[in-house]
Structure formats: C-alpha cells, structure tokens
Amino acid sequence: MPRALITGAGRGIGKETARAFLGAGWTVLALDKDFSSFDLSDARLERVDYDLTQVAGIAALVAGLGEIDTLVNNAGTLYCEPYDAIPEAHKREILAVNLEAPVALMQALAPQMRKRKAGRIVNVGSVAAFTGHPDLWYGATKAALLNTTKSCAGWLGRDGIRRR
Ligand SMILES: NC(=O)c1ccc[n+]([C@@H]2O[C@H](COP(=O)([O-])OP(=O)(O)OC[C@H]3O[C@@H](n4cnc5c(N)ncnc54)[C@H](O)[C@@H]3O)[C@@H](O)[C@H]2O)c1
C-alpha cells in the first residue's frame, strides 16, 4: 500500500488532497498543527500533529514515520500586512512554514527515496511566485520554493525521484 505524507492536511487544499489519495487506495499521513476542521476518517489515515515552525525537529519526526512514497508540501501561511510593518514573528513563521519546512522535509525524505530509487515530491506553489503578492514574504517564499523545487529535481531526479 503506497503511503503519502501531506502537510497542511487539516483543511482546505491539503484536506481535499488527503481525501483524493485515500480514494485512490493510498495510506495517508495527514500532518497539521490544527485538526479542528478535519472530518476525514479512514482506517488508512493517520494524523501527524506537528507545528512546522519547529523546523529543527523535522528530521526526527520523519525518522519515526516509516516509508513515504509521496510527499506533498502543501502547508502554507500568510498575513497580508503592510510591507513596511510586518512583525518579525510573522516573517519568521512564513519563512519557516512556506520554505524552510518544505526543504527540511525534502532533505529528510530524500535518503529513503534515493535508496528505493522511487518517490514523488509535490511542492504546492502559487502564482505569487511570479507576480509578487500583498504579503511580501508569502510571495518571496513561493518564488524561493519554486526555485528549490527545480534544484532538488536536478539532484534527485536521476535517482527516480520526481516532482510530479
Ligand atoms: N487557496 C488558494 O487560493 C491558494 C492559491 C495559491 C496557492 N495556495 C497554496 O495552497 C496551499 C494550501 O492553501 P489553502 O488555501 O488550502 O490554505 P489553508 O490556510 O486553508 O490551509 C493551510 C493548512 O496549513 C496548516 N498550517 C499552517 N501553518 C502550519 C504550521 N506551522 N504547521 C502545520 N500546519 C500548518 C493550517 O493549519 C491549515 O490546515 C498553501 O501552500 C497555499 O499557499 C492556495
């Protein structure tokens, strides 16, 4: 049974992605820090309660999750505050959730995927990567995530790990 790790699966696009994977017969590890809107229930579904701002703990988290065939880096956050009045804490949170955590998850999962010479990594982007965005750091992190995806595809693609 293939297994997918989907971040930000507590609601929205992540939850619907989890539903689609379950429908396709996958086992789903649904990661979020907030499951208050989560109404999926399935024997093949496992909740992973984790706050992705805790980037330093991601390697240890992944080590305990077992084999993952597909990673969907879907979690994202934004505040849309004026570009010249963004609280430092919000900037740090956006950088961590939208960029540092997805990269840490790719780095943590790459060794097991390389070993099996198979794997899929989907990084959920945004048109903001190209256009800019009312939330300065949201747009910047989505652009950086796109670039990181291309870099990782170059490093990992030769081992059978693909970006879609
Ligand atoms: N909705 C849109 O129109 C749209 C457009 C372009 C891109 N996107 C991207 O799609 C993805 C999902 O968007 P959405 O609209 O479903 O978002 P959403 O806000 O509805 O859901 C995001 C999920 O991520 C989780 N999350 C946020 N911070 C977290 C953290 N620190 N740790 C763990 N989980 C955390 C939230 O709890 C939430 O469940 C995001 O990456 C977003 O940037 C969305």
**Structural domain total, the chain:** 1
The CATH number covering residue 133 comes to 3.40.50.720
Question: How many angstroms does the Cα of residue 92 sit away from the middle of ligand 1?
Answer: 16
Q: What is the pTM (predicted TM-score) of this model?
A: 0.98
Question: Domain range for residue 36?
Answer: 3-162
CA 158 – ligand 1 centroid, Å: 30
Query: Please, what are the averages of pLDDT over each run of 10 residues along the chain (164 residues)?
Result: 97 98 98 98 98 98 98 98 97 98 98 96 98 97 97 92 71
For ligand 1, atom 20, which residue shows the shortest CA distance? 12
Q: Is any ligand 1 atom within 6 A of the Cβ of residue 32?
A: yes
Indicate whether residue 77 lines ligand 1 (CB < 6 A): yes
- Name 108's Cβ contacts closer than 8 Å, sequence gap at least 6: 58, 59, 61, 62, 63
The strand pairing partners of 46, in sequence order, are 29
> Looking at residue 39, what is its pLDDT?
97
Ligand 1 neighbourhood includes 139 CB (under 6 angstroms) = no
Query: What are the helix (H) ranges across the chain?
Result: 12-23, 58-63, 88-95, 101-116, 128-131, 136-156
